[in-house]
Structure 1
Amino acid sequence: MANRVPRSADVGRPEIRVLLENGEYWLNNKGDLAILDVMVRRFAERCPGARIGVLTSAPALLRAYEPGADPVCYQRGGDWSRRRWSGHSGVTSRLGPEIAGAPMNGWDAAVALPGKIAARVRRIAGRVGDTDSSGSETTSTTTGSVPLALRRDGGHVPNAAATASVVVAIGGGYLTDVDRFQTERTLNLLEYAIGRGVPTAMTGQGIGPLTEPDLLERAGRVLPRVDLIALREGVQGPELLRSLGVPPDRIVVTGDDAVELGYSTRRRQLGTDIGVCIRVAEYSPVGAAMQEAVGRVVRGAAAEFGAGLVPLIVSEHDAEDRRSTMPLLEGYAGAVAPLGRYASARALSRQVGRCRIIVTGAYHVAVFALSQGISVVGLSTTRYYDDKFAGLASMFGTGVQLVRLDRTGAEDRVREAIHELWAGAPASRPELLGRAEDQIRAGRAVFDRIVGLMDADATARRGPDTDPSLPPTFPR
Structure 2
Amino acid sequence: MVKIPLGLSAGGEPPIRVLIDNGEYWLNNKGDLALLDVTVRRIRARWPDARIGVLTYAPGLLRAFEPAAEPVGYRRGAHWSRLGRSSQLPARLGPAVVGRVSEVWWSLTNPPRRQLRKLPDSVRHPLTRMKEWRSHDRDRNTVNRGARIPEAAKTASLIVAMGGGYLADVDTYQATRTLDLLEYACEKGIPTAALGQGIGPIDDPVLFARAAKVLPRVDVIALREDVCGPDLLARMGVPDERIYITGDDAVELGYDAGRPEMGSDLGVCLRIADYSPVGAQARTSVRRSVQEFALGVGATLVPLIVSECESEDRRSTLPLLEGYPSVAAPLDRYARARDLAAAVGRCRVLVTGAYHVAVFALSQGIPVVGLSSSKYYDGKLGGLRAMFGGGLELIHLDAHDLDDRLSKSIRELWDAAPQLRPVLRERARAQVAASREAYERMFGLVERTSGASAQSMLDRQSSV
Give the TM-score taking structure 1 as reference length.
0.88
2:293 matched residue in structure 1: 301
1:387-466 to structure 2, matched below 5 A, reads: 387-456=379-448
Q: Distance in 2 between matches of 1:291 and 1:456?
A: 54
Whether the aligned pair in 2 keeps the contact of 1:58 and 1:108 (CA below 8 Å) is no
User: 1:87-143, CA deviations, whole angstroms, 9 ceiling, x for partnerless residues?
Assistant: 8xx34323432343222454466677765554443469899x9x98536534655xx
Q: 1:162 to 1:110 in 2, by over 3 A?
A: farther
Amino acid at match of 2:21: E
Whether the aligned pair in 2 keeps the contact of 1:201 and 1:228 (CA below 8 Å) is yes
SS at match of 2:266: strand
Q: Distance in 1 between matches of 2:46 and 2:105?
A: 32
SS at match of 1:121: coil
Amino acid at match of 2:226: G
Q: Distance in 1 between matches of 2:288 and 2:263?
A: 22
Shift of 1:85: 7.2
Provide structure 2 residue ranges, at least 5 long, that are not aligned to the other structure. Answer: 126-130, 452-464
* Alignment partner of 1:202 is 2:194: yes
Whether the aligned pair in 2 keeps the contact of 1:18 and 1:52 (CA below 8 Å) is yes
Whether the aligned pair in 1 keeps the contact of 2:370 and 2:394 (CA below 8 Å) is yes
User: 1:136-171, CA deviations, whole angstroms, 9 ceiling, x for partnerless residues?
Assistant: 534655xxxx453xxxxxx12122111111000000
Whether the aligned pair in 2 keeps the contact of 1:58 and 1:105 (CA below 8 Å) is no
Question: Share of identical aligned residues, percent?
Answer: 54
1:473 matched residue in structure 2: none
Q: Distance in 1 between matches of 2:150 and 2:137?
A: 16
Shift of 1:400: 0.4
Whether the aligned pair in 1 keeps the contact of 2:35 and 2:162 (CA below 8 Å) is yes
* Alignment partner of 1:134 is 2:126: no
Q: 1:458 to 1:422 in 2, by over 3 A?
A: farther
Q: Distance in 1 between matches of 2:101 and 2:226?
A: 41
Q: Distance in 2 between matches of 1:156 and 1:50?
A: 24
Amino acid at match of 2:34: A
Higher percent of residues as helix:
2
2:101 matched residue in structure 1: 103
Amino acid at match of 2:81: S
Provide structure 1 residue ranges, at least 5 long, that are not aligned to the other structure. Answer: 149-154, 460-476
Q: Distance in 1 between matches of 2:40 and 2:84?
A: 15
Q: Distance in 2 between matches of 1:160 and 1:110?
A: 29
Q: Distance in 2 between matches of 1:309 and 1:136?
A: 40
Amino acid at match of 1:58: A
SS at match of 2:136: coil
Q: Distance in 2 between matches of 1:47 and 1:239?
A: 34
Q: Distance in 2 between matches of 1:455 and 1:122?
A: 48
2:329 matched residue in structure 1: 337
Q: How many residues are paired up? A: 442
Q: Distance in 1 between matches of 2:415 and 2:280?
A: 29
1:31 matched residue in structure 2: 31
Whether the aligned pair in 2 keeps the contact of 1:223 and 1:246 (CA below 8 Å) is yes
For the aligned residue pairs, the C-alpha RMSD in angstroms reads 2.5
Shift of 1:312: 0.2
Amino acid at match of 2:227: V
SS at match of 1:137: helix
User: 1:282-337, CA deviations, whole angstroms, 9 ceiling, x for partnerless residues?
Assistant: 11000112111100110001000100000000000010000000000000011111
Shift of 1:202: 0.4
Amino acid at match of 1:324: S
Whether the aligned pair in 1 keeps the contact of 2:76 and 2:149 (CA below 8 Å) is no
Q: Distance in 1 between matches of 2:402 and 2:123?
A: 49
Shift of 1:74: 2.3
Give the TM-score taking structure 2 as reference length.
0.90
1:118-197 to structure 2, matched below 5 A, reads: 118-122=116-120, 133-134=135-136, 137-138=139-140, 140-141=142-143, 146-148=144-146, 155-197=147-189
Q: Distance in 1 between matches of 2:70 and 2:41?
A: 13
2:454 matched residue in structure 1: none
Q: Distance in 1 between matches of 2:446 and 2:141?
A: 29
1:266 matched residue in structure 2: 258
Deviates more, 1:257-266 or 1:93-102: 93-102
Q: Distance in 1 between matches of 2:49 and 2:278?
A: 47
SS at match of 1:252: strand
1:53-64 to structure 2, matched below 5 A, reads: 53-64=53-64
Deviates more, 1:351-360 or 1:159-168: 159-168
Q: 1:110 to 1:200 in 2, by over 3 A?
A: farther
Q: Distance in 2 between matches of 1:292 and 1:36?
A: 35
1:68 matched residue in structure 2: 68
Q: Distance in 2 between matches of 1:192 and 1:112?
A: 32
